[in-house]
Copies of this chain bind each other. A is one copy, B any other.
Amino acid sequence: MAVTITKPSIPKGTRDFSAIEMARRNYIFDTIKGVFKRYGFSQIETPAMENLSTLLGKYGDEGDKLLFKILNSGDFLMSVGAPLNANSDKASLQICEKGLRYDLTVPFARYVVQHQAELTFPYKRFQIQPVWRADRPQKGRYREFYQCDVDIIGSDSLLNEVELIQIVDDVYDALGINVVLKINNRKILAGIAEAIGAAEHMVDITVAIDKLDKIGLDNVNAELQEKGLSTESVEKLQPILKMTGSMEEKIQIMRSILTSEVGQKGLDEVETIFKYVYAIGLKTVKVELDLTLARGLNYYTGAIFEVKALDVEIGSITGGGRYDDLTGIFGLKGMSGVGISFGADRIYDVMTQLNLFPESAMEQTRILFANFGGEDEMYSLKIARDLRAKGIKTEIYPDAAKMKKQMQYADKKQIPFVALCGETERVTGKVTVKNMQTGEQLSLTPDEVVPTISC
């Protein structure tokens, strides 16, 4: 029988995660999950596949193109009349009815509407699952990546915004990353558009000023004029874009500029959130009002959040905001929600660059029993069993191989201790424990092993 050998590879834009990468990723996820749970958020999961009818039209035309579609199984083409053009929506619906999850927000909205009768509102959930996008793969951008979302839905209280800020603080304090949390409010952006006499250009303004960091003030102004803003409007915008100072100073100036109801409401909301945050106190996160923060997503209606690492040049590592009608697309109106999303890949990169992963996140085996075969092997197996029962990560080399080979195994796996139990140890009821870093060897009773090798 001829066997075809396949040279192994994975689809571009996807990744394997090795043991060390997984241990570090789990360290991040476990830290985040632990914080979410302390605030009373519960984890849910939704299927990787959603009906295309759930996904299509929710992410704009560009998003629709980036959906991974799943071919119907069976004789799907038999039911499709000629001519077939899978680029038309209709045809692709005929050969595909399912697509892979593109984000966690739309499946969450679908979940809330579908299960509304079972849920207790305000409903607090978190979700950590991969999403898939048929984006062009490039450095730091993958076709499969994890999102880590936390949302409260069914309450318009600003305490929810405050709670999310506390969560950001707890997470980054626990991970040891210095961050700044920038806040803005969609209502302030609307107020600005009104105040400069360009209310109908609100989206253009937010899109343009969102790029201020990246492209600079001159380019932002050029873009605004291209979009049809008058010179007068652009001029009126300048003091806002250049504004510096503390949150209190900025708000005071803005109170005099944004005279509309919506603008004042936005300022009230920001002020209230800051008032709470200061009173409760944060551990390490710096909070700033950033009037140029817009974030692309049009469904935000109130607070907008973005978190940046202070010690590494990297984009936003956490972001989110309030949306007043997320579930409306599935027929459930009037459900205000607020949520944030932690970017696991970027957090991973920040922690790697700053060398912030603790040794305990390595999760490697603590002690390897060398294998001398026969009765010595059996003696080792019993002590290994007892160490595991005490929670120690313990291995025994599976063969009585040459000692050099066994030691190399411990070295390569960075196992810090090797137990040597030969005839002498077996007869005297001892364990010789070798510290692989110092080379020191100790003769111990089995009970002395745990305190000796524990971190």
Listed in ascending order, the chain A residues whose CB lies under 8 Å from chain B are 3-11, 14-19, 22-23, 26, 37-40, 42-51, 53-54, 57, 65-66, 68-71, 73, 75-77, 84-87, 92, 95-98, 100, 110-111, 113-115, 118, 120, 122, 124-125, 130, 132, 134, 143-144, 152, 155, 157, 159-160, 162-163, 166, 170, 276, 279-281, 328-331, 363-365, 368, 371, 377-378, 381-382, 385, 388, 391-396, 398-399, 409, 412-413
A395 proximity list for chain B (CB < 8 A): 39-40, 124
Contact between chains at B38 and A391 (CB < 8 Å)? yes
Docked complex Cα distance between A143 and B54 (Å): 18
Whether B73 pairs with A71 at a CB distance below 8 angstroms is: no
Can you identify 29 A-B contacts, CB atoms within 8 angstroms?
A3-B329, A5-B329, A6-B53, A8-B111, A8-B113, A8-B114, A10-B46, A15-B47, A16-B45, A16-B46, A23-B42, A23-B43, A26-B43, A38-B391, A42-B363, A48-B48, A48-B130, A68-B71, A68-B73, A70-B71, A71-B92, A73-B134, A120-B412, A122-B409, A157-B398, A160-B398, A163-B396, A280-B385, A281-B385
Which B residues touch A92, using CB under 8 A? 71
- Residues in B with CB closer than 8 Å to A3 are 328-329
Q: Which 9 residue pairs are nearest across A and B when measured between Cβ atoms?
A: A19-B42, A14-B47, A40-B395, A157-B398, A73-B134, A40-B365, A8-B114, A120-B412, A17-B45
Nearest chain B CB to A273 CB, angstrom units: 13
Looking across the interface, which residue of chain B has its beta carbon closest to that of A134? Answer: B73
Q: Which residues of B contact A391 (CB under 8 A)?
A: 38
Counting chain B CB atoms within 10 Å of each CB, which of A45, A124, A130 scores highest?
A45
Q: Evaluate whether A413 and B120 lie within 8 angstroms (CB atoms) in the complex, with A159-B396, A399-B157 already known.
A: yes
Find chain B residues with CB under 8 A from A412 CB.
120
Q: Contact: B70 with A43, CB < 8 Å?
A: no
A16→B68 contact, CB < 8 A? no
Tell me which of B57, B110, B392, B409 contacts A38 (CB under 8 A). B392
Given contacts A8-B331, A22-B42, A68-B71, 5 further A-B contacts (CB under 8 A): A3-B328, A11-B97, A48-B144, A69-B70, A170-B388
Q: Is the CB of A75 within 8 A of B87?
A: yes
If over half of A's interface residues share one DSSP class (helix, strand or loop), that class is named, otherwise mixed; here it is mixed
Q: How many copies does the complex hold?
A: 2
Q: Is the CB of B95 within 8 A of A86?
A: yes
Name the one of B38, B115, B155 contacting A398, with C-beta atoms under 8 angstroms: B155
From residue A158, how far is it (CB to closest CB) to chain B in Å?
9
The answer to whether A381 and B43 have CB atoms under 8 Å apart is no
CA distance A120 to B365 in the complex (A): 13
- Closest B residue by C-beta to A34: B391
Name the residue on B nearest A133 (C-beta). B73
User: Chain B contacts of A365 at CB under 8 A?
Assistant: 40
Chain B residue nearest to A118 (CB atoms) is: B18
**B77 and A85 form a contact (CB under 8 A):** yes
Known: A8-B113, A10-B46, A86-B76. A394 touches B40 (CB 8 A): yes
Whether A73 pairs with B65 at a CB distance below 8 angstroms is yes
Assess A331 versus B5: contact at CB under 8 Å? Given A14-B47, A71-B69. yes
How far in angstroms is the closest Cβ of chain B from A284? 13
Closest to A414 in B: B120
- Tell me, in angstroms, the Cα distance from A47 to B12 when the chains sit together: 10
Asked if B68 and A68 sit within 8 Å, CB to CB, the answer is: no
- A6 with B54, Cβ < 8 A, contacts A160-B398, A385-B166, A398-B159 known: yes
Q: Which of B11, B23, B276, B329 contacts A6 (CB 8 A)?
A: B329
Contacts of A51 in B (CB 8 A): 9-11
A410 and B135 CA atoms in complex are apart in Å by 44
What chain B residues lie within 8 Å of A53 (beta carbons)? 6
- A378→B278 CA distance, assembly (Å): 11
- On whether the beta carbons of B276 and A381 are closer than 8 Å, the reply is yes
A9 to B115, CA, bound (A): 10
> Please, how many angstroms separate the alpha-carbon atoms of A37 and B114 in the complex?
38
Query: Which residues from chain B contact A393 at a C-beta distance below 8 Å?
Result: 37-40
Q: State in angstroms the CA–CA spacing of A5 and B19 once bound together.
A: 44
- Cα(A125)–Cα(B217), bound, Å: 52
